[in-house]
């Protein structure tokens, strides 16, 4: 035992002191979002955390600034020659991590690789609107889209990591290529990783064309639980933690000295859905617009934001998350929270209460409604219970329940649900298109529905506006179309938008500074490498203290030795005396 302690103590000192020599390492913890692969062609749609690995290594043509606007990355500037032809002037001083120069050939190669290999399913969504790409000269690339595409710069191109042609042209099978030694243009160079969902180590790319990073090394660590990650940042083992700390853990972090929690609206929102599909198998009363409007008056999203998220969520009124700023219609009306008004609307529409107090439709259907919550968002159960209690007060037999996420997905595909609370999240995208795409009528198909729609919404006016906004490259025109669409959705009340919970991320502010000011979360799911480029040590101090560790380890070792010794003494004493019988 003592030998054991003696072995540990000096090596703990050795490990810490080596990293304390003037070299700085920024360690970021990321929870619950898998980082399965180093290869952009092998990323699957499961890899919620792969973007973090990628955007330290690679660049894209454009990226997001801290307020969600597309700005230059590998493309220094761009012009629209026609609404479907864009010329990108590339930077001329970027180099690959192996020293080769970056040119337009790399861009053309990368995009063509994705266009010509539809089996690379993950990347398809980012190149689906591109018709062709051509290198015009060494530093100019021309992209032609199939139709005018408003989502190109704030969504599609954000996800196309530019890969080195001189390496990837020799790859035989893209989808199984594991990219064990990735070479990119990004701010950090790959050193090694511990396998899927463990950690990745990087060295700074001192030749990075946007400026050398302010740290020497970067480590990305994957955690399976926010609890463990909170402890890690409290003890100083990591410097930054995200992406979305649950509201229950945030107070512990804010009350720890040296930790700052930064919460900014995230590109996602929670919503309440009514199954209004005409051929659905849920309660048919929800197909009546009056019922949906009445029930919308019986949901108070401000109260829910307080109950479930302790006031840290931002209630929202439309289907576009608060984080997407300019696309959110500030004038879309809100259904006031008014139980009396709700009851009145139901009465007028013919849904009178029966003898047991539960309302019945004019055709005799009881208003019994399920409010479901998927198992991976179990904290929303409190919101569901609150809603059920409001609805019970106006004569609805409402029951909240948590359903396994797979089972709920199956139910929705079969149109068997009544209502539920769920999330729409755009990932790295800052584009509003995703958030209105599930209302297009082609997304509602008979069971089993392979489309996005969970409300069964079918409105040809809306469909026409949707097709229009996606082509409106001019932001002002597009805004006006999107505003109209949000108003229409409000009138038809198939969703009740609830809130945007924001992303709570934590940083050791006693050691680090340089978080970019802005409106989107500092580490905004791969929309840019702003955080990695700007983070710098608060002062030139070494990471980790040495004396504490060795002392406590020595104490632990001594305690163990003492316990063993006592036990041994007790045992030998006992041996000598008589046993107390059977």
Partner 1 sequence: MVNLAYVARKVTGLLITVFLVLTFNFYLFRVLPGNPVTLLFRGVGLSAEQIRELTSQFGLDQPLWVQYSAYIRNTLSGNLGISFQSRAPVLNLVLPSLVNTAILLSVASFLSIGAGIFIGIVSAWRRGSKIDITASATTLVLYSMPTFWLGLVLLFIGVIYLHLPVGGMMTISFVTIGALPQLADLTRHMILPLMTLVLGLTGQYVLVMKGALLDVFTEDYMVTARAKGISNSKLLWDHGFRNAVLPMMSLVALNLGLSIGGAVQTETVFSWPGMGLLIYRAILARDYPVLQGAFLVVTVAVILTNFVADMLYPLLDPRVT
Q: Which residue has the tokens 């139910």?
A: 411
Check: CB of residue 165 under 8 Å from CB of residue 109: yes
Contact pattern for partner 1 over residues 533 through 562, marking x by CB under 8 A: ---------------xx--xx--x------
Provide the minimum distance between the beta carbon of 138 and partner 1 in the complex, in angstroms, as a whole number: 34
18 three-class SS: helix
Provide the minimum distance between the beta carbon of 165 and partner 1 in the complex, in angstroms, as a whole number: 22
Provide the minimum distance between the beta carbon of 254 and partner 1 in the complex, in angstroms, as a whole number: 17
Q: Which region, judged by CB under 8 A, interacts with partner 1, from 93-101, 117-125, 269-277, 535-543?
A: 117-125
| Smaller CB separation from partner 1, 175 or 310 | 175
- Pick the binder of partner 1 from 79, 99, 119, 211 (CB under 8 A): 119
Q: Which region, judged by CB under 8 A, interacts with partner 1, from 77-85, 279-287, 420-428, 505-513?
A: 420-428
The residue count for binding partner 1 (CB under 8 A) is: 87
DSSP string, 435-454: HHHTTSGGG--SSSP-SS-S
User: Residues 393-404, buried b or exposed e (16+ Cβ, 10 A)?
Assistant: ebbbbbbbebbe
| Smaller CB separation from partner 1, 169 or 176 | 176
Provide the minimum distance between the beta carbon of 33 and partner 1 in the complex, in angstroms, as a whole number: 10
Provide the minimum distance between the beta carbon of 30 and partner 1 in the complex, in angstroms, as a whole number: 12
Residue 565 makes contact with partner 1 by CB under 8 A: no
262 three-class SS: strand
Provide the minimum distance between the beta carbon of 156 and partner 1 in the complex, in angstroms, as a whole number: 10
User: Residues 251-275, buried b or exposed e (16+ Cβ, 10 A)?
Assistant: eebeebeebbbbbbbbbbbbbbbbb
Beta bridge partner(s), residue 107: none
Residue 124 makes contact with partner 1 by CB under 8 A: yes
> How many angstroms separate the CA atoms of 528 and 524, rounded?
7
Footprint of partner 1 on residues 181-240 (CB under 8 A)? 191, 194-199, 201, 203, 217, 219, 221-225, 227-229, 231-232, 234-235, 237-238
Residue 424 makes contact with partner 1 by CB under 8 A: yes
| Smaller CB separation from partner 1, 77 or 178 | 178
Footprint of partner 1 on residues 17-36 (CB under 8 A)? 18-19, 23, 25, 27, 34, 36
| Smaller CB separation from partner 1, 363 or 547 | 547
| Smaller CB separation from partner 1, 199 or 466 | 199
Provide the minimum distance between the beta carbon of 361 and partner 1 in the complex, in angstroms, as a whole number: 30
DSSP string, 529-565: -HHHHH-EESSS--SS-SHHHHHHHHHHHHHHHHHHH
User: Residues 147-170, buried b or exposed e (16+ Cβ, 10 A)?
Assistant: ebbbbbbbbbbbbbbbbbbebbee
Provide the minimum distance between the beta carbon of 390 and partner 1 in the complex, in angstroms, as a whole number: 26
Residue 579 makes contact with partner 1 by CB under 8 A: yes
> How many angstroms separate the CA atoms of 217 and 184, rounded?
16
Footprint of partner 1 on residues 480-509 (CB under 8 A)? none
Residue 423 makes contact with partner 1 by CB under 8 A: yes
Contact pattern for partner 1 over residues 143 through 172, marking x by CB under 8 A: ------------------------------
Distances 163 to 84, 100, 169, 182, 191 between C-alpha atoms, Å: 24, 12, 10, 9, 18
Bond from prior residue into 243 cis (ω within 30 degrees of 0): yes
Q: Which region, judged by CB under 8 A, interacts with partner 1, from 62-70, 100-108, 160-168, 417-425?
A: 417-425
- Pick the binder of partner 1 from 28, 42, 308, 485 (CB under 8 A): 42
Provide the minimum distance between the beta carbon of 235 and partner 1 in the complex, in angstroms, as a whole number: 5
> How many angstroms separate the CA atoms of 131 and 112, rounded?
10
Residue 246 makes contact with partner 1 by CB under 8 A: no
Distances 106 to 126, 167, 245 between C-alpha atoms, Å: 17, 10, 38
Q: At 473, list the tokens.
A: 């490259």
276 three-class SS: coil
Provide the minimum distance between the beta carbon of 552 and partner 1 in the complex, in angstroms, as a whole number: 5
Helix (H) or strand (E) holding 304: helix 301-309
Contact pattern for partner 1 over residues 46 through 85, marking x by CB under 8 A: xxx-------------------------------------
Q: At 394, list the tokens.
A: 């106006």
DSSP string, 336-367: ---HHHHHHHHHHTT-EE-TTS-EE-TTS-B-
Beta bridge partner(s), residue 82: 85
Q: Which region, judged by CB under 8 A, interacts with partner 1, from 116-124, 205-213, 305-313, 379-387?
A: 116-124
Q: Which residue has the tokens 């199956």?
A: 410
Provide the minimum distance between the beta carbon of 538 and partner 1 in the complex, in angstroms, as a whole number: 21
- Pick the binder of partner 1 from 105, 397, 410, 510 (CB under 8 A): 410
Residue 258 makes contact with partner 1 by CB under 8 A: no
Q: Which region, judged by CB under 8 A, interacts with partner 1, from 64-72, 274-282, 424-432, 504-512?
A: 424-432
Footprint of partner 1 on residues 443-482 (CB under 8 A)? 450-452
Footprint of partner 1 on residues 369-408 (CB under 8 A)? 404-407
> How many angstroms separate the CA atoms of 172 and 80, rounded?
35
Q: With left for phi above 0 and alpha for psi between -120 and 50, is residue 152 left, alpha or beta?
A: alpha
> How many angstroms separate the CA atoms of 60 and 3, rounded?
53
> How many angstroms separate the CA atoms of 246 and 379, rounded?
9
Residue 574 makes contact with partner 1 by CB under 8 A: yes
């Amino acid at each position: 035992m003592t030998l054991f302690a003696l072995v540990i103590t000096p090596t703990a000192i050795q490990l810490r002191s080596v990293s304390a020599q003037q070299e700085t390492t920024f360690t970021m913890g990321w929870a619950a979002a898998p980082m399965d692969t180093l290869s952009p062609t092998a990323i699957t749609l499961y890899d919620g955390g792969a973007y973090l690995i990628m955007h330290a290594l690679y660049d894209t043509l454009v990226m997001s600034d801290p307020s969600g606007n597309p700005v230059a990355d590998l493309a220094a500037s761009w012009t629209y020659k026609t609404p479907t032809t864009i010329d990108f002037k590339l930077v001329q001083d970027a180099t690959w991590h192996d020293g080769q120069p970056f040119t337009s050939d790399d861009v053309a190669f990368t995009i063509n690789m994705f266009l010509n290999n539809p089996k690379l399913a993950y990347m398809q969504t980012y190149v689906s609107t591109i018709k062709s790409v051509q290198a015009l000269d060494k530093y100019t690339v021309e992209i032609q889209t199939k139709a005018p595409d408003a989502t190109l710069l704030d969504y599609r191109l954000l996800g196309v990591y530019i890969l080195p042609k001189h390496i990837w042209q020799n790859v035989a099978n893209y989808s199984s290529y594991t990219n064990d030694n990735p070479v990119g243009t990004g701010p950090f160079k790959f050193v090694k990783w511990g396998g899927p969902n463990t950690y990745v180590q990087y060295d700074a790319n001192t030749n990075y064309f946007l400026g050398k990073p302010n740290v020497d090394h970067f480590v990305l660590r994957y955690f399976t639980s926010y609890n463990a990650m909170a402890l890690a940042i409290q003890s100083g083992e990591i410097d930054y933690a995200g992406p979305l700390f649950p509201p229950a853990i945030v107070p512990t972090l804010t009350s720890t000295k040296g930790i700052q929690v930064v919460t900014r609206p995230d590109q996602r929102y929670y919503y309440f859905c009514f199954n209004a599909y005409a051929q659905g198998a849920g309660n048919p009363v929800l197909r009546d617009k009056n019922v949906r409007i009445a029930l919308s008056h019986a949901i108070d999203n401000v109260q829910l934001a307080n109950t479930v998220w302790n006031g840290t969520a931002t209630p929202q009124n439309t289907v576009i998350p608060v984080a997407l700023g300019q696309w959110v219609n500030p004038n879309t009306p809100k259904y006031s929270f008014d139980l009396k008004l709700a009851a009145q609307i139901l009465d007028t529409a013919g849904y009178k209460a029966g003898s047991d107090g539960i309302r019945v439709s004019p055709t005799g259907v009881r208003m019994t409604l399920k409010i479901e919550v998927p198992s991976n968002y179990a904290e929303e159960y409190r919101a569901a219970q609150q809603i059920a209690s409001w609805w019970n007060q106006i004569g609805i037999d409402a029951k909240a329940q948590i359903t396994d996420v797979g089972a709920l997905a199956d139910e929705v595909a079969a149109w068997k649900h009544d209502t539920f609370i769920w999330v729409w999240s755009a990932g790295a995208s800052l584009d509003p298109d995703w958030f209105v795409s599930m209302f297009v009528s082609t997304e509602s198909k008979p069971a089993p529905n392979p489309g996005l729609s969970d409300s069964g919404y079918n409105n040809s006016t809306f469909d026409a506006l949707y097709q229009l906004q996606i082509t409106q490259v001019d932001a002002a025109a597009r805004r006006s179309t999107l505003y109209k669409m949000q108003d229409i959705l409000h009138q038809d009340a198939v969703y009740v938008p609830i809130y945007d919970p924001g992303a709570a991320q934590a940083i050791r502010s006693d050691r680090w500074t340089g978080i970019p000011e802005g409106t989107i979360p500092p580490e905004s799911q791969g929309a840019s490498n702003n955080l990695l480029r700007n983070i710098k040590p608060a002062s030139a101090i070494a990471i980790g203290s040495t004396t504490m560790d060795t002392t406590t380890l020595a104490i632990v070792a001594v305690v163990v030795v003492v316990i063993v010794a006592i036990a041994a003494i007790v045992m030998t004493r006992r041996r000598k005396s008589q046993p107390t019988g059977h």
